[in-house]
Chains A and B, each alone.
Chain A
């Protein structure tokens, strides 16, 4: 297994673990934490896809511009992952705020107690 495969596998595993946690824990806070784990997994997969074996970070301070195309890794996933991280953070903050509000409304953080809307 090379580096890319290891990180891809780790990413996927984190996603699955996170989702498992989110789908089996009834506690809302645990669900949120699980989702952040899954998000991390996604981010790992994102950067792993951009990696080209044996290349350097796409910063042209030591790399001459002319050689850039043959020496740097793919910069796009690195740009994307930043956006993904920030968005994940935003959603997490929002879920936490919701959790707080839900707790204040019901005094409980058990997801199965918020089922008055159905059918």
Chain B
């Protein structure tokens, strides 16, 4: 394996004293799509939130271990820098309701007070929306509120918003769990396309989705890393009995 973009070393996390992640060590290969699977409550979401330090929004959260982005420990950086390098898309589409589609896409710049010229803004908006396969649908209503879009379109808008800062890693936390089934395929095609330029980590409790889109797969169970392998291997010849049981639908 070539040098991994992101390495997690001995990561443990707890909320209000209860241990959610237990000593996870894992490396994510560059420009690949890694799926994190596991039953509800296994710590999938916590794991990705520790990667961009979003867990720090909960005051009772504590973390030990390290997360290295290109060899640099993100816990030694400013969380604001970390979040610009590691973008995130959430379970429920959450465009800013007070902003237009256009402003939503460049929200990262607007919120953090980075000034851009009109041409730069136009270029970034178009580029990000094209990457998110949304440009053709919204190019004529860029200055309307994003909340009028369908759920799937809103989620692609959120992907565009996460891409606009050119992150190195994109975290997707069950991005299709609140989306109309017909819109899911479009988002899956989109993320497969995106991994050419950005490393993607997707949390999913949909086994079929993990099989369809991912190159590597992680199985978490009760806060422990049970198995990590190429998706094909993990799905066909799982090494751990628990992985096999999970994949065959015995629990979860």
Tell me if chain B binds chain A. no
Binding site for A on B (CB under 8 A): none
Binding site for B on A (CB under 8 A): none
